[in-house]
Structure 1
Amino acid sequence: MLKMLALDRFTVLLFIMVVLATFLPVSGQAAEIFGTITTVAIAVLFFLHGAKLSREAVVEGLMHWKLHGVVFAFTFALFPIIGLLCKPLLVPMLGQELYWGFLFMCFLPSTVQSSIAFTSVAQGNVAGAVCSASFSNIVGMFITPLLVSFFILGESTHNFDPTASIVQITLLLLVPFVLGQLLRPYVFPYMKKMPKIVKVFDQGSILMVVYGAFSSAVVAGLWQQVSAQTLILLILACSVLLTLIMLLALYVPRWMGFNRADQKTIFFCGSKKTLASGVPMAQILFIGQPLGMIVLPIMIFHQIQLMVCGVIANLWSKQSRGVE
């Protein structure tokens, strides 16, 4: 049951990082050193992602522009529109900072590894998922800072320069990814011998970033600002958002005439938001802002989407195999 609900070791470790940051936060010079190590780990992770992605999958995936257009519309149009429309309801419920975090989550690109993994389990269009998820993350490095500058930071400061943030995000995420693609013929053979290395860096870097972000937030008084009632309301808001998006991602592709495999790809790629890219982006975009409250919604949404997608992917896998 735990496996079906995606409550794996990573989920437990993520919770442990929050607890650890609550009682033993890293601060001062140690926090600066830890932040540097985390930045290097994230760069290595995106280098490995670039080396892992095959050219054949990219070419095959790029040909299906209609599928990618729908995923793009869900990720960077539908999510933000819903987030903006919810402002009159969510600001009184959650407060301004948590609403910013909720809206920032809506501006983020899709996940990469989990979107591909769930699409594969459900026997969807894996090549399309690889290309859509990767394309979403690459484009998100430019679109997310622009959306944040217009709809979030424009309310709190007049000195925000999205160009500088895009440059920093490009150097941290895109450059290592492209470098990994260029060096793939030399790096990928070694990666095949160590198939778990990407997973280790993926989960390890996220855990480090979450611990660092929550440490600084705890030092700044996060848990004095977020009550148990507010936390429950945030979980409810994330759950309602995911339910609405998943219903649309389930029925809109059917209405548009996509085949069953593509419907599954759109469902998993179009309904998810990345934690791996989201927290590093938040560190760059929200300097001087309450970072812990900004990343809390994406952390909660991330866990809910993993659990729900785990159940649905297993169900569709059984249906594909004819298992009742």
Structure 2
Amino acid sequence: MEKKAIILSRVSSEHQTLEQQTEAVLKEVEKDGYSDDNIIIIEDKESAIKLSEEERNGLNKMKEYIENDPSINVVYIYELSRLSRRQLVLYSIRDYLIERHIQLICIQPYMKLLDENGKMSQSASLMFSIFSSFSESEMALKKERFMRGRYHNRKIGKIMSGFPPFGYSVNKEKYYIVNEEQSAIVKRFFSEYAKGNKSIADIAKELKEEGLFPKTSFFTLEHNIGQWLSREFYCGNQTYPQIISKSLFDRVQIERKKRKGKPKRSHKNRFMLKGLLFDVTSKRPLCAMNSG
């Protein structure tokens, strides 16, 4: 029975390419005497730190080939981190291959898992431990650098991902800039609410009637305006340019607090002592009920 080899290549993101990695390993495989008919190539783009062993498509394919084809006797990888960057997963795969007498050959740095007797030598065990530790610590350092970069960008006002809040856009340098059309609407609902003669529902109704939010339902728009009225970043900070003044924002917050203490005028039922009794803690209005 002719022996077969598996080449396992992996990158962690979509913008990375697999070709160079696979070609480098393929040269070593052909040097060891395997022909094209006896080489199985598994290429995958997936995270080796976020996903567990069971969630990794590449590892699952490798195991499926090994369990269904007894002629497979070796797995080639470019470097140990291509298997995984988590030590727990690496040791699990190592034991899986040893139990089935499958050789593991790593190209950079060169390492063979099993000796000529099909057993793992002390030197191979030591090298595996060292390089698996390097793989995990390298990823930990990358994550730490990434978080430092995100913190630095946030500190200088740059954004990394996500949609900008209503009233803003994002420029090519990844900074928030004022969206002229949306910011005019922000100024409008802050100003109209601060006057005290319109409710959030009144403002939402006017905006809908003017066709400014055609894809948003009235109730969603009413809810959004309520949220937007509490966003202090519209006054401007290191990340967000100023759209409204701090004095206008403060007037709106005073008006909202004042309205929360008022009884609902639109209620059709007539309640005894309406608007006269208030809860001492929450300041919410109370009324007497004649039922029960």
Which TM-score tier does this pair reach, normalised by the shorter chain? under 0.3
Instruction: Calculate the TM-score normalised by the size of structure 1.
Output: 0.25
Greater relative CO (CA pairs within 8 A, separation 6+) = 1
Larger Rg: 2
Bigger proportion of residues as strand: 2
